[in-house]
Structure 1
């Protein structure tokens, strides 16, 4: 609905500075789909509320795939306070520039922003936009960059999170790891395997998008396996943010994604079909038994 009303509300406005209900201020590119949804308070509201419930003063948050807006980084930094730390990872130069701008806009001193991607090992990586995702992106920024060739290519350093944590946070417990990297999540988890096995992360919140995973040669099982194997229990966010148990039931059929204008009925239909194909998975560290 907001997409239909936006041209009439914005009236040609392409940039906005907006204070969210979470008490953080963002400079937004309204030509970018994700940043528009933030402007209308419609972006992953349940996930942001869950993040706030999970974090306390002094905690550590890793935001892998912080995006240009950095809303999870900003909200998390406010929640953990001066005694906590947020480590944000955003590989795309234009996104990273806006991320650091928003961090400074909120005068956050507890955030370490890293212009790098997370993967199985150290190195470098090329990211780009697919043609359909470029249409949903701003002129300079986008949260839809994925690994591989395509439009508006960008190169980035690649880091294994096991190594990063050993160097930057030796011995520290990570309260929440949020990961949204457009289908590259299994590779990033491979570089975090030691940390997951040693139970140094309490909560993992990761995107599961079968379309993006398939583009990288992965499936849902490749997200589930490292988490379940490390002893995490799996959940999805239900009504009013309640956690409900979730178990892997095989790979859903990957439906063809049509491009071009869409109507309300088709959007609702596609959204219902995508409930098994595009969601955020919550993994909780299992408490040791007596």
Structure 2
């Protein structure tokens, strides 16, 4: 059967605080993209004995299954007039259904709970499974994310939706730079009218490592090589997006901690995930994993080969 391509921003909705924040972020992104918003609620059938319990009967299940997307759609239509809002109710295992829904979407948006007292995410098993298997970009949005959080401070020192967007941050591996990943980040910065901050982390070859602590000249030479290589990778993208201000950062060590640090000043953090089709199964790399759990800004994971 041929699938119908919806060309929408799709959000997984379960009624939780984090999924409501994801839906609001997705509505704003759909507006920037000029696409409709699709709210998908996945109901996972419970075993028959549980389904017969008074609080889990068919009428109760149907009530909540219908109410969650309906209420969310009504609220979004009021707050985002003119935005096309679609709803869909599906059943099955949420991670599998949402990963399948991502195939037909411009991007899939999911919620993650903010860690109490700590900036960042608590990424649930469903979100991690979808990120690991989806072959379209997936954005994770923390609970409590507000439109103002993506913007610079106003004169009073408070984030405001009336000010410019904060930069988009891209974590880039220059040994295998993927065009889809780079273009996604540039395009995200372009539609926000903001700058792009590219962060690259590097480690020396094993045979250099021993002398790095004492040979500062060698360390400096390696750093210059990595910086030059990063500039070379980005050169044609600068030409393709001439209006985007690009800053380049090449750091010694894993980029994970650097990306988490700069996420505090970002509107969106963009990282990649290599698609692997092998018996070992799907995989989320250590850098992406760290960013997913600790970024204080929404995170876009772009799968690539």
TM-score normalised according to structure 2 size: 0.31
Between Structure 1 and Structure 2, which shows a larger proportion of helix residues? 2
**Bigger radius of gyration, 1 or 2?**
2
Between Structure 1 and Structure 2, which shows a larger proportion of strand residues? 1
TM-score normalised according to structure 1 size: 0.32
Q: Which has the higher contact order (CA 8 A, sep 6+)?
A: 2
